[in-house]
Amino acid sequence: MAILITGGAGFIGSHTAVELLNAGKEIVIVDNLSNSKAEAVRRIAQITGKEPKFYQADLLDRPAMEQIFNENNIEAVVHFAGLKAVGESVYKPLEYYHNNITGTLVLCDVMRSHGCKKIVFSSSATVYGMNNPVPFKEGMPTSATNPYGYTKVMIEQILTDLHTADPEWSVVLLRYFNPIGAHKSGLLGEDPNGIPNNLLPYISQVAIGKLECLSIFGNDYETHDGTGVRDYIHVVDLALGHLKALSYAETHTGVEAVNLGTGVGYSVLDVVHSFEKACGKPINYHIAPRRAGDIAKNYADPAKARELFGWEAQLGLDEMCQDLWNFTVKNPQGL
Ligand code: NAD
Ligand code: WQD
């Protein structure tokens, strides 16, 4: 019996693949490499000493998905595959809805026809929208402000409806906060195309000299130093959360939304200072206007993951920055 990892060559999927292999699980990876490289799969093998089965295929390609399920005994799916750039989704809405929603529909239909009814889905804290008070709790109303966010809200609804129609389904909706860091080995990490949108890849490229200066988007928020506060979580902690979610799904049917965050919020300046310690040099930054769509503070109430899964994040901000810096130094050109 194997676990299928969609998007397993990507940032979070590759780290999860490592932890599943280390836990002795059999895995199959499907990825179209639209935002990743086959090198990530080789590195998963290098770290674990185990070769994962890899299909370079698109979720939208139904015959290819059928073939994967025909050739493997898939017991559960961890579904990471999707497009994830918030800004890009605003000017490419059709691409985002088609890839993320239709991809999920094809996947679930093929799962259903093979009697595979366990899915762990990569949702996002973005579903808490702009109006909920922090800390975010799973029972709060969900909403979105951009096509990317809507794909997460909609897929949560689709998977919930699937369980309503057939209560044998086991659905875990993992709402990630801000995943950062890299594997301790320095072999795996985030490898964005072009100029990064997210804070940590941007800072690391400033530190390595690829980018000149970090723009800090606003210093007049109602936070301890005026800059935006987020719940950064080490990608390896996040990966381990998926193992717990899979164990839960093995023994429970139903639908559960679960936050994966630390419960601690750090400001942009806190992150800059932690990264400066990690890389041993100052980060060049200036204060820029607020970025459209940003909120002041965003952090999790992590209690449900502790109660349901017995999972809790272990690694702090300094370790996240150290591991990202180690990865950046070892892979100055990415993977
Ligand atoms: P990523 O882009 O590194 O990984 C996603 C992978 O999916 C990529 O390797 C890409 O090539 C693949 N993919 C995309 N569309 C596909 C398709 N149609 N068929 C096959 N493969 C396809 O992103 P990530 O940071 O690892 O994120 C993984 C998941 O977690 C995504 O669904 C993302 O929306 C979600 N998420 C990410 C974050 C974050 O900040 N990184 C936060 C919350 C949620
Ligand atoms: C973090 C903080 C910025 C870049 C995004 C998605 C969210 C989820 C995680 C997928 C904010 C500030 C950033 C920069 C800055 N992804 N910043 N200068 O926006 O919290 O979340 O990734 O689901 O949906 O929206 O992450 O890393 O972009 O920003 O000052 O160059 O850093 O304003 O306060 P965000 P981020």
For residue 297 the two structure tokens come to 């503070």
Pocket test for ligand 2, best of 173, 230, 235 (most atoms within 8 A of CB): 230
Say whether 148 is catalytic: yes
Give the pLDDT confidence score for residue 290 in this predicted structure. Answer: 98
CA distance 188 to 234: 13
Q: What is the pLDDT of residues 305-317, one digit of tens each?
A: 999 999 999 999 9
Atom number in ligand 2 closest to CA 267: 34
CA 280 to ligand 1 centroid distance, Å: 31
Q: What angle do CA 237, 255, 137 make, to 5 degrees?
A: 60
Q: Which long-range contacts (CB under 8 A, 24 or more apart) does 273-278 make?
A: 274/317, 274/318, 274/320, 274/321, 275/200, 275/203, 275/204, 275/207, 275/321, 275/324, 275/325, 277/318, 277/321, 278/318, 278/321, 278/322, 278/324, 278/325
pLDDT tens digits along 168-224: 999 999 999 999 999 999 999 998 888 999 999 999 999 999 999 999 999 999 999
DSSP annotation of 275: H
What local confidence, expressed as pLDDT, does residue 297 receive?
A: 97
Closest CA to 265 of 168, 202, 177: 177
**Are 27 and 8 spatial neighbours (Cβ–Cβ below 8 Å)?**
yes
Which DSSP symbol is given to 281?
A: S
Return d(Cα 17, Cα 52) in angstroms, integer. Answer: 8
Query: Ligand 2 pocket, 62 CB below 6 A?
Result: no
Catalytic residue among 148, 150, 232, 266: 148
Ligand 1: nearest atom to the Cα of 57 = 20
Question: What pLDDT sits at residue 121?
Answer: 99
pLDDT above 90 for 279? yes
Helices (H) and strands (E) in the chain, counts: 12, 14
Kindly indicate the confidence band of residue 68, based on its pLDDT and cuts at 50, 70 and 90. very high
- Read off the pLDDT of residues 91-143 as tens digits, 9 standing for 90 and up: 999 999 999 999 999 999 999 999 999 999 999 999 999 999 999 999 999 99
pTM beyond cutoff 0.85:
yes
Place of tokens 């993977």: 335
Q: Kindly give the distance from the C-alpha atom of residue 230 to the centroid of ligand 2, in angstroms, as a whole number.
A: 8
What spacing in Å lies between the alpha carbon of 125 and ligand 1's midpoint?
15
Tell how far the Cα of 295 is from the centroid of ligand 2, in angstroms: 10
- Give the ligand whose atoms come closest to the C-alpha of residue 122: 1
291 lines ligand 2 (CB under 6 A): yes
